[in-house]
Homo-oligomer: A and B are copies of this chain.
């Protein structure tokens, strides 16, 4: 009878793990609702700019930092819209994800998502696209001398948002730099009309990696954060966002 009872108990379906798949964040000091009723708009990943039906220009952004920030904002109680370029990452729980490919598609999705309280523009948006993407696959002409690829500038999503009629109260840009990190970030802050620039040095292998050493550039100065995981950068940044919004920024 005891054996039968043990077998019966062992045969019961396992209880589902209600926390399975949830990000592993420590609860925020105020109970994790620091961004309740806020709308946070995040962009992440690269953009792909077509050359022809099979070729495109890409960049090495993995999307990990942006996805971590979207997860941290959702964890802090915000409604989160994540506009993602082509990446291989699962959608964080509680996040509305919109997939796009090109910079122009990303801009359209960002503008459609407004109004927002906070915009965190993490995506590595392509500065340039090809002047006229070909409808047919380009072929070698046998000359051995391919025509140069004509490029045009893409819309600058961060700068457009920084001066938008529906500008979020807090506009945060990211700057991936390989040299003169702080100097380039400070110039970018002014040029883009952003409140903060999160600058990181991609001269190593940050892109695709799991750790990140960033500097936060604001009108008040530069704050250097020690190297930490991208999840930790996300949690710390969202904490700083919550502090900035309470009391209200404007």
Question: A residues within 8 Å of B by Cβ?
Answer: 2-3, 6-7, 10, 48, 51, 53-61, 88, 124, 126-128, 136-140, 144-153, 176-179, 184, 202-203, 207
Contact = CB atoms under 8 A, between A and B. Distances in A.
Contacts of A146: 127-128, 151-153
| Copy count, this protein chain | 2
Contact of A57 (B57, B179, B203): B57
Contact of A177 (B137, B179, B203): B137
A82 to B, nearest CB: 20
A193 to B, nearest CB: 16
B178 A137 contact: yes
B54 A55 contact: no
A144 B155 CA distance: 10
Contacts of A59: 54-56
A57 B51 contact: yes
28 contacts: A2-B2, A2-B3, A3-B3, A6-B6, A6-B7, A48-B58, A54-B59, A54-B61, A54-B124, A54-B178, A54-B202, A54-B207, A55-B58, A55-B60, A55-B126, A56-B57, A56-B58, A57-B58, A127-B146, A137-B177, A137-B202, A145-B153, A146-B151, A147-B151, A148-B148, A148-B150, A149-B149, A149-B151
